């Protein structure tokens, strides 16, 4: 999709971090923006900034809420026109314990949030025609299990597989699909995740989580800037690329996983 100027993009988790970086890049490219996020203060700040560059509307949205999603989609298209670029970017990352409550939380946002975005907007894109593009934010942790945590890896592997399959299915419809697989990016995703995260069981667990949050946030702060990631995503949309890597952090893990998969194949006949 080389010509993006004047098109409307819908970005979840769009008021902070990578989502805001994508919004800035898209705004500079002349797109209209519908920014959805769960944090009202960040939404207000994002609108104040981005409105200087383009038409922008903001929406408070929990991507797990399908009825709210449909309502927000209607409002966004009524104000800005048909959405032809969808960025399923909202996500969480945090220390977890192995409980149904945490599985539901992690998968509800990282996986079902992506499904809800696709199920809300894709039928509209197909019905209207005229092409489009879907960007799903996964992670390098969706390409190899390198230690980001069982639940996080599970959710991101699913988004990668979904994106690969969706791209194949949508190619004849002139709708592109990109899966963003970032390494460390300078965001506060772990701290932000605690807004919706299930509560700690006791003071000791809360203290442990706080320490993990500080450690991971410090690592992420040394990563790629969100605005640079936004420019990568814009280029991928224009060039219709499937994968976006923000660095080479995952290289050795991807190579090791690929080798293990190939080595496990039965001998050639």
What are the pLDDT digits (tens) for 233-265? 999 999 999 999 999 999 999 999 999 999 999
The pLDDT tens digits for 125-174 are: 999 999 999 999 999 999 999 888 999 999 999 999 999 999 999 999 99
pLDDT number for residue 2: 85
- Which residues belong to the active site? 152
- Residue spans per domain, the chain: 8-263
Q: How far apart are CA 230 and CA 242, in angstroms?
A: 15
% of residues, the chain, pLDDT over 90: 94
User: Mean pLDDT, the chain, as a whole number?
Assistant: 96
Q: Categorize the per-residue pLDDT at 1 as very low, low, confident or very high, splitting at 50, 70 and 90.
A: confident
Tokens 């996986």 appear where?
111
Question: Quick check: 197 and 105 in contact, CB under 8 A?
Answer: yes
Fold of 8-263: Rossmann fold (3.40.50)
Residue 116 makes CB contacts below 8 A (sequence gap 6+) with: 63, 64, 66, 69
pLDDT single digits (tens) 23-71: 999 999 999 999 999 999 999 999 999 999 999 999 999 999 999 999 9
Locate the DSSP E strands across 26-157. Answer: 32-37, 56-60, 83-88, 132-137
């Amino acid at each position: 999709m080389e010509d993006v100027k004047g098109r409307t993009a819908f970005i979840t988790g769009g008021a902070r971090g990578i989502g805001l970086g994508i919004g800035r890049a898209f705004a500079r490219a002349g797109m209209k923006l519908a920014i959805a996020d769960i944090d009202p203060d960040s939404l207000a700040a994002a609108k104040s900034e981005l409105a200087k560059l383009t038409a922008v509307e903001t929406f408070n949205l929990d991507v797990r809420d399908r009825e709210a999603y449909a309502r927000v989609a209607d409002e966004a298209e009524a104000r800005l026109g048909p959405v032809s670029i969808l960025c399923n970017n909202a996500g969480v990352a945090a220390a977890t314990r192995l409980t149904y409550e945490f599985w539901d939380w992690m998968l509800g946002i990282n996986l079902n949030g992506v499904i809800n975005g696709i199920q809300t907007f894709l039928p509209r894109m197909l019905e209207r025609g005229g092409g489009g593009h879907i960007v799903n934010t996964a992670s390098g942790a969706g390409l190899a299990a390198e230690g980001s945590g069982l639940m996080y890896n599970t959710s991101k592997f699913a988004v990668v597989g979904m994106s690969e399959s969706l791209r194949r299915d949508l190619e004849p419809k002139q709708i592109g699909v990109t899966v963003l697989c970032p390494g460390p990016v300078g965001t506060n995703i772990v701290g932000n995740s605690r807004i919706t995260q299930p509560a700690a069981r006791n003071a000791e667990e809360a203290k442990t989580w706080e320490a993990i949050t500080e450690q991971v946030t410090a690592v992420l702060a040394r990563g790629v800037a969100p605005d640079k990631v936004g420019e990568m995503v814009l280029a991928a949309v224009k060039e219709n690329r499937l994968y976006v890597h923000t660095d080479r952090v995952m290289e050795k893990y991807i190579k090791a996983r690929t080798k293990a998969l190939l080595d496990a194949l039965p001998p050639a006949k």
